[in-house]
């Protein structure tokens, strides 16, 4: 039995590919299909076109807009699971997994199960990173992670600082500003912005070229706009090494005076934030858009991790320490959308599982 942990996009895609090959599998899901997508912020839309963001075997509905909403994508995931009759057991949480004598022993909230291959597809949403700042206990106002943000309603009439200029942080800052909230964003280092691709052909061709071209040629091809004059400079190093922010909503909001940019947060005080460069400002609330780490605690002892905290995997997404452990959805490509890459990644991961089973 091949056991997949998590019924999000990665888990569903792997299940589909296994089913196509007639391989025995099951999905264990702690909550429900696409659970994380039930709780993302209201404004969220896909950053990649629907035509390239569907899971293997079923495109998104023609009625969907080019960039589907959170709710639309969640509905698509539920329909996908039902359409292919994927074997999902909800309400089962993996608590610990040990590999012994060629088999996995899976300790769950409903007892112990065995598996020949374990596929971790739990994503990152359940493991938010929320660094502490000196003085945060004295701040006095709410300090929440972006995972808890839904919409601007609770922040109307307040001064809000967003910490972290990734895709979530920039979208939340723009969302707040568009609803009249006095908004600022703290930027510790550079940001690489890219336009929202509106051509399916260009999206596919550019992703393929950037994957296959020699690095020096790919770097020359990949141009980024520099918004350094707005306090949003490009990151140092190669553009291939930086995960980009899609769309120019934040630079436009900064240029229009709706969002203020500060440097890195150095410390907090009562109702205050103090930044690098000696600046300070008063705030009522702070939203930490400081990212996530891979949710891999049950199998962490079977993995090696790189400096960014991502599992070290081979070309088939198998753990270097144990090829019977597959991890999908923890490393995001810098040159194409994750959903855009999903079908290819799922096929590759299942090909690696097939190789393991042939050796048994």
From 310, 338, 315, 328, select the one nearest 117 (Cα to Cα).
328
Listed residue (265, 232, 261, 263) closest to 247, CA to CA:
232
Q: What are residue 8's phi and psi, to 5 degrees?
A: -90, -170
* Selection from 222, 259, 220, 213 nearest residue 244 by Cα: 222
| Residue in the block written with tokens 């589909």 | 16
What does DSSP say about strands 265-269 and 272-275: parallel, antiparallel, or unpaired? antiparallel
Q: Domain 136-288 belongs to what architecture?
A: 3-Layer(bba) Sandwich (3.50)
Same CATH fold, 136-288 and 2-127+292-359?
Answer: yes
What are the residues whose beta carbons fall under 8 Å from the beta carbon of 108, sequence distance 6 or more? Answer: 28, 92, 93, 94, 95
Q: Quote the crossing angle between the two packed helices 9-20 and 70-83, to the nearest 10°.
A: 20
Angle between helices 200-212 and 338-359 (to 10 degrees): 50
**Residue 265 CA neighbour count, 13 Å, CB half:** 28
DSSP string spanning 258-309?
A: SEEEE--EEEEETTEEEETTS-EEE-SEEEE---B----GGGGGG--B-TTS
Cβ neighbors of 274 (< 8 A, separation 6 or more) are 265, 266, 267, 268, 280
Gap between the Cα atoms of 112 and 81, Å rounded: 25
From CA 10, how far away is CA 123, in angstroms rounded? 8
Dihedral Cα 47, 52, 54, 60, nearest 10 deg:
90
* Domain definitions of the chain by residue range: 2-127+292-359, 136-288
Q: What is the CA radius of gyration of the chain?
A: 21
pLDDT tens, position by position, for the chain (360 residues)? 999 999 999 999 999 999 999 999 999 999 999 999 998 999 999 999 999 999 999 999 999 999 999 999 999 999 999 999 999 999 999 999 999 988 999 999 999 999 999 999 999 888 899 999 999 999 999 999 999 999 999 999 999 999 999 999 999 999 999 999 999 999 998 899 998 888 999 899 988 888 888 888 888 888 888 999 999 999 988 888 888 999 999 999 999 999 999 999 999 999 999 999 899 999 999 999 999 999 999 999 999 999 888 999 999 999 998 999 999 999 878 888 899 999 999 999 999 999 887 765
User: What is the topology classification, in CATH, of domain 2-127+292-359?
Assistant: FAD/NAD(P)-binding domain (3.50.50)
């Amino acid at each position: 039995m091949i056991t997949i942990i998590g019924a999000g996009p990665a888990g569903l895609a792997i299940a589909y590919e296994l089913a196509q090959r007639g391989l025995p599998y099951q999905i264990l899901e702690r909550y429900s299909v696409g659970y994380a997508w039930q709780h993302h912020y209201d404004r969220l839309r896909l950053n990649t076109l629907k035509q390239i963001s569907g899971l293997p075997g079923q495109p998104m509905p023609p009625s969907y807009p080019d960039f589907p909403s959170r709710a639309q994508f969640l509905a698509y995931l539920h329909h996908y699971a039902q359409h292919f009759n994927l074997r999902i057991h909800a309400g089962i949480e993996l608590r610990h997994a040990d590999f012994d004598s060629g088999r996995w022993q899976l300790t769950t909230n409903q007892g112990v199960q065995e598996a020949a291959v374990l596929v971790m597809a739990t994503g990152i949403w359940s493991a938010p990173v929320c660094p502490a700042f000196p003085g945060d206990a004295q701040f006095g106002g709410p300090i929440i992670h972006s995972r808890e943000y839904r919409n601007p309603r609770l922040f109307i009439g307040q001064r809000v600082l967003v910490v972290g200029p990734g895709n979530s942080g920039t979208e939340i800052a723009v969302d707040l500003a568009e609803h009249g909230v006095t908004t600022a964003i703290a930027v510790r280092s550079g940001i690489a912005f890219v336009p929202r691709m509106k051509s399916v052909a260009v999206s596919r061709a550019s992703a393929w070229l950037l994957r296959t071209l020699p690095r020096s040629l790919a770097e020359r091809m990949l141009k980024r706009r520099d918004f350094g004059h707005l306090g949003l400079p490009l990151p140092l190093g190669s553009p291939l090494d930086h995960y980009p922010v899609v769309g120019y909503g934040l630079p436009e909001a900064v240029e229009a005076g709706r969002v203020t940019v500060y440097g890195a947060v150095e410390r907090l005080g009562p109702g205050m934030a103090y930044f690098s460069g000696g600046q300070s400002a008063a705030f009522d609330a702070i939203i930490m858009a400081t990212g996530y780490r891979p949710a891999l605690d049950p199998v962490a002892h079977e993995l090696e991790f790189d400096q960014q905290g991502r599992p070290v995997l081979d070309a088939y997404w198998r753990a270097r320490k144990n090829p019977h452990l597959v991890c999908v959805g923890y490393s995001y490509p810098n040159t194409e959308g994750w959903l855009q890459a999903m079908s290819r990644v799922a096929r590759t991961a299942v090909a690696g599982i097939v190789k393991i089973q042939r050796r048994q």
